[in-house]
Chains A and B, each alone.
Chain A
Amino acid sequence: MIAVNAQDVVVEIGSMPILVHTTSPEFVEILEKRYGAYVNPTAKPVFEFELEIVSSASLSGALDPDEDLSVRFEQGQWVLERGDFHAELDSNLRHGRIRQTAAPYAIDAAFRIVHSLILAKQGGLLVHSASVVRNGRAFLFAGVSGAGKTTISRLAPADATLLTDEISYIRREGDGYIAFGTPFSGELAQHGDNVCAPLAAVYLLRQGPENRIDPVSEADAVRAVMESVLFFAHDTELVGHVFDSVCNLVQTVPVRRLTFVPDSRIWELIG
């Protein structure tokens, strides 16, 4: 069991608590502010990070900060690198080390990858999509960049709860799936609420001249969802788990094509 000390921060997303140990009290405050309602000091961590705050100049081999995150699998460990951080993690040992600048968002990438690795083996998925809860049921909206994930989130009625406008977190539970809120935000730049609900439908977004919902074949649904899943191609077993999870998802939860004009009337069709 992973022990939690006073200087540690436990961030629990999707019922998966991750401990971050740092010797910097200032960064503890930054993390607590960054992750807000997702900080849960009483949760029992399933993964721990040792985090060292360093200057950007000391990050050996630092990449251009504007470049994409580099992820590779080397000698049994995942290595994540970007201009503002370097991380190594072992998903089997459930332990990782991060060297990063004091930027509050640098650790986001590490969190996403740890969650995707552990979730994949549990039949769960991180999906590049928005998700919203209404009347106790969650709806997921997937689509390419610009398809309207943030727009449909913005248009949600007042009685809806935003889980995320960027990265949806779904976990298999019983015969269905549960969608959880995440602190991973997109253009809305706000946390999703830290709540969860049974996933009632997946909508593949497309903006068009009218509001309509159309059926999607299972095969097309798999293709579309696979395009939106966050995972890393370096591990054959992991790829198989993710593919199986997506197939299970589309056979369990209705997947529909949602064409919409960007106004609030679309929500009359949803749910």
Chain B
Amino acid sequence: MSAVYIARNKEVAARKLGGEMMIMSGRDSTLFSLNQTATAIWQAADGVTPLAEIVTGKLCAEFDVDPAVALRDAEELVAGLEQHGILKVSNVPIVDAQ
């Protein structure tokens, strides 16, 4: 299975307020609120770190979850965030993410 790379979409604005990550989509002006897991993924989405590494390095370390379960949940979450235009997802590193 090939690696999955994720990057924050530059067309969204993000702010962490009172511990809650809020994301404003510039595409359709929808306001999203990320939970803790989604926030950790969002913050780690640098375009070059594989999702699996983010899961083991960030989520499992921070939230004490089973790696296989966490990866499956993260893949679903990432797919949802991609649908809303919040994240970009690719099978190769996203070099212009920074």
Chain A residues near B (Cβ < 8 Å): 217-219, 222-223, 226, 231, 233, 235-237, 239-240, 243-244, 247, 250-251
Contact = CB atoms under 8 A, between A and B. Distances in A.
A240 B25 CA distance: 8
A236 B11 contact: yes
Contacts of A217: 17-18, 20
Interface of B: 11-13, 15, 17-18, 20, 22, 24-29, 31, 33
Contact of B27 (A236, A237, A243): A236
The secondary-structure label for the interface of chain B is strand
Contacts of A226: 24, 31
A233 B28 contact: yes
Nearest to B15: A247
Given A239-B29, A244-B15, A247-B22, 15 more contacts: A217-B17, A217-B18, A218-B20, A219-B17, A219-B20, A219-B22, A222-B22, A223-B31, A233-B28, A235-B26, A239-B24, A239-B25, A240-B26, A243-B24, A244-B13
Contacts of B25: 239
The secondary-structure label for the interface of chain A is helix
A240 B17 contact: no
B22 A236 contact: no
B17 A239 contact: no
23 contacts: A218-B17, A218-B18, A219-B17, A219-B18, A219-B20, A219-B33, A222-B15, A222-B22, A222-B31, A223-B33, A237-B26, A239-B24, A239-B25, A239-B26, A239-B29, A240-B12, A240-B26, A243-B31, A244-B15, A247-B17, A247-B22, A250-B17, A251-B17
Contact of B13 (A219, A223, A231, A243): A243
B85 to A, nearest CB: 10
Contacts of A218: 17-18, 20
